[in-house]
Amino acid sequence: MNTILKIEGLSHKYSSSWAVRDINLEINQTGVVGLLGSNGAGKSTMMNILCGVLNQTEGNVFINGIDLRKHPLEAKQYIGFLPQQPPVHMDLTVDEYLSFTAELRKIPENKIKAAVGEAKEKCGIAHFSTRLIRNLSGGYRQRVGIAQAIIHKPKLVVMDEPTTGLDPNQLIEARKLIREIASEHTVLLSSHILSEIHLLCREIIMIESGRIIFSDTMDAFNNYAQPQSILLHLENMPAIADILNVKGATRAELLSDKQVRVYFDEDPGFSERLANACVTNGWRLRELNLDKTHLDDIFKQLSTQSHQ
């Protein structure tokens, strides 16, 4: 089986400035892979190259084993793309637009109706077949955009910030749809929102200043999250000074008359000592939770390491 996406030594320069530099990666299976980076990190440049919109300065991109630069038309048959703003035509109906995109994707004329019907069904828009796209909500326009990206059954579906601008209900539906798409396709999902990547992705690729600073599973990423503090719920709240007497405590912050957050050093035995102190001193411990590093802090940590 061919590797779905392989990138070798990918670099691109605008004028005298490198937007991406020496990117190497492989994606070999279906599922959602997150492409994460701050604004200006090089995500858009990388995605434009992957979708054949931009020719790279250096390096090679292979889609399903096909060299994208040498055989662009053949390689692009295996790519579906959803830009941040869905590329829909407002004055067409859903059926007209999807039939048009099927023709662009060179689907044989006698198979277009079936391809449109299957894409509509997967994206939950079959009941809007004859409605003008301008009369659809933002969430359903997004679904039409996803339908055009999968209508030709590509191996790789590239989505740029697909949940931006959706309301909470639309977000839930969009995430569910993306997961369903990823059961049959490889989805490369770009975002600058860590929590969104965390909810959707099995693997994560982080780029900063045009370079990969992390590429691994979400579980491996989560291992960077270290406990920083402990949240206590106590029925008999002691004085802060008494809590700080527990060896390893560095700071305590009273949140309410029954809740306190206790910060500690890297001593792995601190939580056990704190629990013992609660029992010994009659503080009546009701709950003890470890607080882990916020995802954004992990991103900062990895970014700092990449510049050292």
pLDDT tens digits along 258-302? 999 898 887 678 888 999 999 999 999 998 887 765 566 676 767
Average confidence score pLDDT of the chain: 89
Helices (H) and strands (E) in the chain, counts: 11, 14
Domains along the sequence of the chain with CATH: 5-222 (3.40.50.300), 227-292 (3.30.70.100)
User: Phi, psi at residue 169, to the nearest 5°?
Assistant: -65, -40
Give the other-Cβ count within 10 Å of 39's Cβ. Answer: 7
The alpha carbons of the chain give a radius of gyration, in whole angstroms, of 25
Separation between Cα atoms, residue 194 and residue 192, nearest integer Å: 6
DSSP E strand stretches across the chain: 5-14, 17-27, 31-36, 58-63, 66-67, 79-82, 156-160, 186-191, 203-208, 211-217, 227-234, 249-254, 259-264, 285-292
Range with the poorest average pLDDT among 96-110, 152-166, 209-223: 209-223
Helix axes 94-104, 112-123, angle to 10 degrees: 120
pLDDT tens across 72-91, in order? Answer: 999 999 999 998 888 999 99
Across residues 171-187, what is the average pLDDT?
91
pLDDT band of residue 308 (cuts 50, 70, 90) is: low
Q: Is the dihedral of CA 264, 266, 271, 277 positive or negative?
A: negative
Phi, psi of 41 (to 5 degrees): -75, -20
Q: What is the per-residue pLDDT across 128-144, written as a single tens digit (0 to 9) for each?
A: 999 999 999 989 999 99
